[in-house]
Amino acid sequence: MRAMRVHQLDGTLQLDEVEAPQPGTGEVAIAVAACGVNFADTLMVHGKYQEKPELPFAPGMEICGTIEAVGEGVKHLKKGMRVAALCGNGGFAEVAVAPAASCVPVPDNMPDAHVAAFLIAYGTSHVGLNYRARLKEGENLLVLGAAGGVGLTAVEIGKLMGANVIACARGAAKLEAAKEAGADHLLDSESADIREAVKALGGADVVYDPVGGAQFEAALRACNPEARLLPLGFASGDIPQIPANILLVKNLTVHGFYWGAYSRFKPQVLVESFQQLFTWYLEGKLKPHVSHEVPLERATEALELLTTRKATGKVVVTI
């Protein structure tokens, strides 16, 4: 099979011909149709992600495809089933192996690119806002990086949950994407004073932050009493340090949030989340935004679209 693999942790990928992987106990092999690209992939190819696969490896954490082989002990999945799956890495290839427990059957009328763009982005936002932050109807939700892969889904889901959504993104085009996703208020991160602008809109009750750095610090100071903050990534490259005295004075709560960990210690949270998300999709309430579909042999470009912040919504590698 063909696979785009990393041989050195310098961000470059190479198209290789390799043996197709075989599923082990509790696993399935999937003929990949499309693979969602995530910011975590851009870190993994430089050895900067918390999970470090052995070289050489293919990036790609979430896939859509058809099961072509089933490992020992797998009873609920069959060859020929079309599924979404979380594989950790290996998705930039014609065949990938994934834990059977991570596979979710998907609606027949859901396009491959939508499926590949769905699990991590929508799952992260739904579990973060619903399960961790307990977002309530009528609250002010501040979404930083609101035009990114997870940011747009946070805007969509926040509106579905009844929040007043303040979207912060860079430039008119990205703010327009956030507006189309349902944002009530738009802030340009390049020119706005985030702290003062959010306070003028009534302050933040929940902060959804995949960006970190100065934007997190400004958002922290724009929080209302008893606000909840969700740091879920540091796309700015700057991990903020949180002054405990501000948490004390305002009775704030910071929820550490690594969505992928739930597959290991509390998978039922993800199962229930996916059930709700697919219901919303079939009802037409969620509209995945895929800004770029890139063929496998150009997968390096897909990563660059994220690192250069040229993408809105999701980037998908097609096989």
Q: Please tell me the pTM assigned to this model.
A: 0.86
Number of separate helices (H) and strands (E) present in the chain? 11, 15
CATH no. of 121-258: 3.90.180.10
Question: Rounded to an integer, what distance in angstroms lies between the CA atom of residue 141 and that of residue 27?
Answer: 39
In this structure, what are the phi and psi dihedrals at residue 169, rounded to the nearest 5 degrees? -150, 170
Residues 84 and 166: their CA atoms lie apart, in Å, by: 31
Evaluate whether 2-118+288-318 and 121-258 have a shared fold: yes
Q: Helix (H, G, I), strand (E, B), or coil: what is residue 231? A: strand
In a 13 Å sphere around the CA of 54, the CA atoms on its Cβ side amount to 0
Q: Record the tokens describing residue 309, joined without a space.
A: 């912040």
* Runs of H (alpha helix) within the chain: 39-44, 112-116, 119-126, 149-160, 172-180, 194-200, 213-220, 244-250, 262-265, 267-282, 299-307
**pLDDT given for residue 102 in this prediction:** 87
Q: What angle is formed at CA 209 by the lines to CA 266 and CA 40, rounded to 5 degrees?
A: 65
**pLDDT value at residue 51:** 86
Residue 168 β-bridge partners: 144, 187
Q: How far apart (Å, rounded) are the C-alpha atoms in residues 181 and 158? A: 10
Q: List average pLDDT for each run of 10 residues in the chain, which is 319 residues long.
A: 96 95 97 96 92 95 97 95 94 97 89 93 96 98 94 96 97 93 95 95 98 95 98 89 94 94 86 90 92 96 92 91
pLDDT number for residue 312: 83
Contacts of 275 (CB under 8 A, 6+ apart): none
Q: What residues does each domain of the chain span?
A: 2-118+288-318, 121-258
Specify the pLDDT at position 210: 94
Count the residues in the chain: 319
Report, at the CATH architecture level, how domain 2-118+288-318 is classified. Alpha-Beta Complex (3.90)
